[in-house]
């Protein structure tokens, strides 16, 4: 009897999936929320049983040099998402298969939900840029998530950091319901708590001063997780303003919808509120320090 080697044993755990017809959807993110939630639950079960290797995320793939194997894997992803008769474990394996390649960078401490949130946030904000720059907007979301991790945030808090602007920028209440279905009510509640307005499609946001005053008031009684994510968000924004101010000068303030003094008022009010009852001493302290520098520069 032949003894199986480690490679054979590993490969036997991944279900085989046949190539998909070309007519199937290309984007795994288009799976409906209910099915996707079941896929996430299946992944948790698989991880507990150690039936799949630890998933990895965002391997670098040069699309100019995409191989036949890559295209075949893409077909596996399509069939895994779109064929109703394929069981959930097979769907999951199909979604992940592209990310198990040797050149992919593993993230062993990150759960599948967080990896799904990274991909979801990237898809939602892929066409956005930071105010007045060519910097992809997702850089802000990744930075906020990083600050939350460094402050000891939970997986749900990090996921909410990635998605904190999705409702306000990409669909309002309907998007919030989707986040609830995909990532759970705790994440949805944090995202809602970090959102200063949620107009229905076709509706205008409330006036700026009304929204910002209400948001500062809201923070006074907001839960710990909302304050943590919001502090990380405002700190990264303030850091970016300071960096751009050093580089581009006073013209930076022209990127905002409000004049310099009103923008500084808002950030000072936020810094004071986070300092009053910090969710993270480090994040709160740094925000105050950055605002101090912005105020000093604005007086010179």
Phi and psi torsions of 136, nearest 5°: -55, 140
CA angle 273/274/277 to nearest 5° reads: 90
Bridge partners for 106 per DSSP? 56
| CB distance 298 to 264 below 8 Å | yes
End-to-end CA distance of the chain: 82
What radius of gyration, in Å, describes the C-alpha atoms of the chain? 22
User: What tokens were used for 46?
Assistant: 């698989």
| Catalytic pick among 157, 168, 180, 233 | 168
H-helix segments, 57-202: 68-82, 88-97, 112-124, 138-150, 155-163, 166-169, 172-183, 185-193
Identify the CA nearest to 195 among candidates 220, 218, 221: 218
Q: Is 168 a catalytic residue?
A: yes
Query: How far is 270 from 14, CA to CA, in rounded Å?
Result: 49
Identify the CA nearest to 58 among candidates 18, 107, 3: 107
| Catalytic pick among 155, 169, 272, 289 | 169
| CB distance 267 to 295 below 8 Å | no
Q: Is 204 a catalytic residue?
A: no
Identify the CA nearest to 291 among candidates 276, 269, 129: 269
User: What tokens were used for 251?
Assistant: 């013209």
Catalytic residues: 168-169
């Amino acid at each position: 009897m032949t003894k199986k080697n480690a490679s054979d044993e590993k490969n036997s755990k991944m279900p085989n999936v046949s190539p998909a017809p070309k007519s199937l959807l290309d984007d795994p993110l288009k799976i409906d929320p209910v099915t996707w939630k079941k896929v996430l639950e299946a992944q948790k079960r698989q991880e507990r049983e150690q039936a799949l290797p630890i998933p990895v995320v965002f391997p670098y793939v040069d699309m100019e040099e995409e191989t036949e194997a890559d295209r075949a894997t893409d077909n596996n992803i399509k069939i895994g998402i779109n064929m109703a008769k394929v069981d959930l474990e097979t769907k999951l394996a199909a979604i992940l298969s592209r990310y198990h390649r040797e050149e992919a960078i593993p993230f062993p401490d990150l759960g599948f939900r967080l990896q799904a949130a990274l991909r979801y946030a990237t898809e939602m904000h892929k066409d956005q840029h930071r105010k007045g720059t060519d910097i992809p907007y997702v850089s802000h979301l990744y930075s906020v998530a990083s600050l939350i991790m460094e402050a000891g945030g939970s997986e749900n808090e990090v996921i909410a950091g990635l998605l904190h602007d999705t409702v306000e920028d990409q669909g309002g209440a309907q998007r919030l319901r989707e986040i609830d279905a995909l990532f759970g009510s705790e994440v949805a509640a944090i995202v809602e708590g970090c959102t200063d307005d949620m107009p229905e499609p076709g509706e205008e946001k409330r006036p700026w001063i009304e929204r910002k005053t209400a948001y500062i008031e809201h923070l006074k009684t907001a839960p710990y997780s909302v304050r943590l994510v919001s502090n990380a968000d405002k700190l990264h924004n303030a850091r970016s303003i300071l960096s751009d101010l050093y580089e581009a000068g006073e013209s930076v303030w022209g990127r905002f919808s409000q004049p310099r003094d009103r923008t500084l008022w808002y950030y000072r009010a936020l810094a004071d509120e986070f300092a009053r009852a910090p969710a993270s001493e480090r994040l709160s302290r740094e925000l105050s320090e950055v605002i101090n520098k912005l105020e000093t520069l604005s007086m010179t």
